[in-house]
Structures are given as C-alpha cells and as structure tokens.
Amino acid sequence: MAGTMAVVQAQRDVFHVRGHAVNWILLRDGRDLTLIDTGYPGDLAAVEESITRIGHQPQDLRAILITHCHIDHVGGASRLAARYGIPVYVHAREVPLARGEVREQASPLDVARRCWRPRVARWALEVVRAGGTRPPVVPEAAALPGDGPLDLPGRPTPLPSPGHTSGHCGYLIPDAGAVATGDALVTDHPTGPGPGPQVLAAMFCHAPGETLAGLEVFAEAPADLLLPGHGPLWRGDPRRAVAEARAHAPAGYRPG
C-alpha cells in the first residue's frame, strides 16, 4: 500500500499522512515520535515508510494513540507494538472494543445492502484488498494514562468525542493549534458527498445523535487546523467546520 501514501507537513513537527483511503498522524519532538492511528492492515508498510520519510525510524515511536477501534484505524497497531515494543493507548471506554469484547463497526451486511451505489461498491472492494474485513482487535491496548496533556511527543491532549464509537477520542496538539478529529469529523470519504467538513454516513456510526453532540469538543478547541481521519487537513475556525458538518448531516443522524 506504500504507493498510495502521501505525507503532508501540517506544522513544523506535525505530519498528516494519507494512506489507503484513511489517514494517520505523526507528532515529533526531537528524535521522538507519537503515532495517532495506524490505517488498515494493508497500510503497515506505508506507516513505516511515512516514518522514514520524515527522517526517523519506527524505533523512535514512544506510543501509539488510537482514536477509535475500527479496522481502518487499528490495522497495524498490534504488529507495530509487537515488532518495536511500543505501548498502545485508547480511551477507557474503548478498551472493550480493543479487546474484541464489543464491536461497534459496520458489518459486511450493512455494506452489502448499500453496494448498489457505485461509490460504495468501489470503496468496499478496496477495503477488502486493504485487509478491512479483519476483526479490529488490539489486545495490547491500554486505557489512556491521563486526561490532560500526555507526557508524549506533541503533548497530545485527549478530547473524548463519543458517538462514532463509545470511546471515540480526538486529540488536541496544543503547541501546533491542531486537532486530530478521527472519524467524528472528517473532510472527505470515498462514500461521501465530496470534500468539506462532514460526518460519515450513519451506517459507520454507533450512535449518530451522540456523534453530533460530541462535535462540540472540537468547536471549543483552541485550534485553527483540523487533522481528520479521512480527507485532507482543514484550516480555519473549528466552529465553522462543526457547524457545516452538523448542517449537512446525512440521513440517519436526525429523527424523522
């Protein structure tokens, strides 16, 4: 999958990386790195390559932070943890998903019901090729070690934003004025309407109404740069991005 990968330097020590229809983020502090999300299983080589492209080695990773336990975000986490001895952290409410005790991800049947739509069919085929049918299990994952700025490169600060999954968690990168929004707030998706701040289709979301409410944590963040789990980075007032996503929420997010 390395051929599909592109590294964008969003700020001096913040890198937003596009993988196979999904993104991950690298935060740098000297020779140390934090990785936020790990793409699909088929993105593992691309994750490692993205690290070398910015002049580092995977051994420089001090931790992996997971925004939520869907296969396109945890695909390489276990193998990276085992290969390099890297700790993996999720929000406490996400631990049961990481262990495989609970699953809050669109099922193959959910996707199959919508494959009459050409964009969904194309995306589903690529997901299969990227290893997206595997269970999103990361048994090594532990609960985040704190609520405030973590003692990790980039000082990422957890921003709990439940709804997409029960323990979905974005991260404020305070020194960069940036927010990693995971899948709670994205800027594009192969199955979506096109570029722009948005929420994903309801089939991908565990609790759509809670997702819309959870966006408030991003609206209030002291930032002017959004680093989404899908789509390009976005610069501007996060309140505007949240308002746009709420105003154009697709069917399934609103009663009636």
Tokens of residue 226, six digits: 């959004």
Taking CA 7 as the corner, what is the angle to CA 172 and CA 122, rounded to the nearest 5 degrees?
Answer: 100
Q: What is the pLDDT of residues 52-107, one digit of tens each?
A: 999 999 999 999 999 999 999 999 999 999 999 999 999 999 999 999 999 887 65
Q: What is the pLDDT of residue 1?
A: 41
Q: What is the pLDDT of residue 116?
A: 45
Tokens of residue 115, six digits: 């494959």
Q: What is the pLDDT of residue 46?
A: 96
What is the H or E stretch that residue 53 is in? helix 44-53
Taking CA 254 as the corner, what is the angle to CA 248 and CA 256, rounded to the nearest 5 degrees?
Answer: 125
Q: Judge contact between 112 and 23, C-beta under 8 A.
A: no
Q: Which of 100-109, 198-207, 228-237 has the lowest mean pLDDT?
A: 100-109
Give whichever of 102-106, 118-122, 239-243 has the largest mean pLDDT: 239-243
Q: Which of 6-20, 63-77, 127-141 has the lowest mean pLDDT?
A: 127-141
